[in-house]
Amino acid sequence: MKWYYIVSLIVIVLVATKVINIPIPGGGYFNLGDAVVVFAGLYGGRKAGLIAGGIGSALADILSGPYMIWAPITFIAKALEGWVCGFGKGQVGTIRMIYPVIGVMVMVITYFFGAMLMPQLGIGVAVADLPANIIQAVTGLLGGLALSRAMEKSGL
């Protein structure tokens, strides 16, 4: 994938993350960026998913002020999510869907352990954030699959 497509995906992830910004306990926030991270991996492959997911999402945290503390964890969680989703590029049927499911699960697990290991948060916040992170993962999964399907049907 050409570099300018990846840069475009970074910007789209950033914008999708910032458009809806609903705070959750512990300092994180619900957003639509995961749909674009899943899409970036499925459409652009592992490299595009990793770069767009990691950089676009971490930039959103950095630009959010109070959520800046999450940027390193977000970078890891979303980069891994996009990279895993990228294994679905070129696949068909159930195999294509398995990778995004695993990708969003990796994101949820990374945030759980990230919150747990942050001294100011800990296990209580990690557990409290889990339902919101699961909802975000499912929403992102469904949105990313829909975006990917729409691109396939458009022939782009």
Domain residue limits, the chain: 3-154
Residue 102: is its pLDDT beyond 70?
Answer: yes
- pLDDT of the residue at 100: 98
CA 1/CA 20 separation, integer angstroms: 28
Residue 40: is its pLDDT beyond 80?
Answer: yes
Please give the backbone phi and psi of residue 37, each rounded to the nearest 5 degrees, phi first.
-65, -45
Mean pLDDT of the chain: 93
Determine what percent of the chain is predicted with pLDDT higher than 90: 74
CA 78/CA 28 separation, integer angstroms: 14
Burial 14-48 (b: 16+ CB within 10 A, else e): bebbbeeeeebebbbbbbbbbbbbbbbbbbbbbeb
Going by pLDDT thresholds of 50, 70 and 90, the confidence category of residue 120 is: confident
Helix, strand, coil fractions of the chain, as percent rounded to 5:
80, 5, 15
Going by pLDDT thresholds of 50, 70 and 90, the confidence category of residue 78 is: very high
- pLDDT of the residue at 26: 60
Q: Which amino acid is at 139?
A: T
CATH class of 3-154: mainly alpha
Structure tokens at 15: 């914008």
